[in-house]
Amino acid sequence: MGKAWKNAGKAVKAEKKGRIFTKLAREILVAAKLGGVDPEGNARLKAAISEAKSLSCPNDTIERALKRASGDTGDATIEEKIYEAFGPHQVGIIIECQTDNKNRTVSDLKTLLRKNSGAWAENGSVSWNFNKVGMVEASTKKTVNDMEEEAIEVDASDVETGEFSEQDLNVVTSYLFYTDLKNLETMQKALVQREWEILKAEPAYRPKQAPDLTEEQQKEVYLLLEQLDDFEDSRRVYSSID
């Protein structure tokens, strides 16, 4: 519940890789601009690079993003924006965006929502039903017999199965560990010490309540969530659907 929407159980489709790599590079650029280009001193950048590598993003794409962040290239300023929307059947949606033109982004989002039985929402009308937490997505080659016990060891408040991810041409299962936002970096370090590979570490939104939908209604929502995830300026998409 509440994890960022992705096509669970599927390897990254070839036709989407270019768009995904562009988003990964943009996050690296933003993280480096905000906290410096040294990943050891910039937790957000370190997590962004880790995620990019886990998705087989080319090294030269990562290096170009870091180079752009360290110099004055005259690039347009990238803003981070959070928008709220309702999907079909009043499902709440939070959309994190990174954009160099917020007016274009808002206009395109409204059009996408309108075409998929969704609607733009005012700030606060959706987010009240979400908690902002710390989330680490990780995988490990070691055998874990009791995931709940593993979660306790790293001070996670909850853990759930993530998705199957393509990593070095092998399919691996990831797990999502949740904690208080202030404890995010500490939990990340604890997982590394316990032989977990970090795929993603960041703030996330989890719903307080999920709507009761039929299977057909869920499919309608998933179609919109997939399009929002593919949207050029979106970074993360969260919904109240289970």
- Give the pLDDT of residue 162: 79
CA quadruple 128, 85, 104, 47: dihedral sign: positive
Which alpha helices (DSSP H) does the chain contain, by range?
14-35, 43-54, 59-70, 102-115, 147-153, 184-193, 215-230
% of the chain beyond a pLDDT of 70: 87
Residue 93 has pLDDT above 90, yes or no: yes
pLDDT at 175: 93
β-strand partners of 205: 132
pTM: 0.85
User: At 94, which amino acid appears?
Assistant: I
Highest-scoring range by mean pLDDT, 109-123, 133-147, 170-184, 186-200: 109-123
Q: Tell me, rounded to whole angstroms, the distance of Cα 53 from its chain centroid.
A: 15
pLDDT at 11: 46
What does the DSSP 8-state code read for residue 226?
H
Q: Is residue 152 helix, strand or coil?
A: helix
Please state, in angstroms and rounded to a whole number, the distance separating the CA atoms of residues 29 and 77: 11
Q: How far apart are the first and last CA of the chain?
A: 5
- As a whole number of angstroms, the distance between CA 226 and CA 237 comes to 9
The continuous run of DSSP H or E covering 121 comes out as strand 119-121
Q: Fill in the amino acid letter for 137.
A: E
Confidence of residue 9 (pLDDT cuts 50, 70, 90): very low
Residue 17: pLDDT band (50, 70, 90) is: confident
CA distances for 11 relative to 15, 24, 63, 181, angstroms: 12, 16, 24, 29
Indicate the range of 44-58, 114-128, 223-237 predicted with least confidence: 44-58
Question: What's the average model confidence in pLDDT over 32-46?
Answer: 91
- What is the model's pLDDT at position 220? 96
- 103 residue type, one letter: N
pLDDT of 195 over the 60 cut: yes
Query: In the prediction, which pLDDT does 8 show?
Result: 45
Domains, the chain, ordered by start: 14-70 (1.10.10.200), 79-128+208-239 (3.30.70.980), 130-207 (3.30.70.980)
Summarised one tens digit per residue, pLDDT across range 132-180 is 999 999 999 888 889 999 999 999 999 998 765 555 445 568 899 999 9
Q: Is 47 exposed, middle or buried (0-12, 13-18, 19+ CB in 10 A)?
A: buried
Q: Which residue has the higher pLDDT, 4 or 207?
A: 207
d(C-alpha 186, C-alpha 202), whole Å: 12
pLDDT value of position 163 = 67
Nearest to 93 by CA among 187, 207, 200: 207
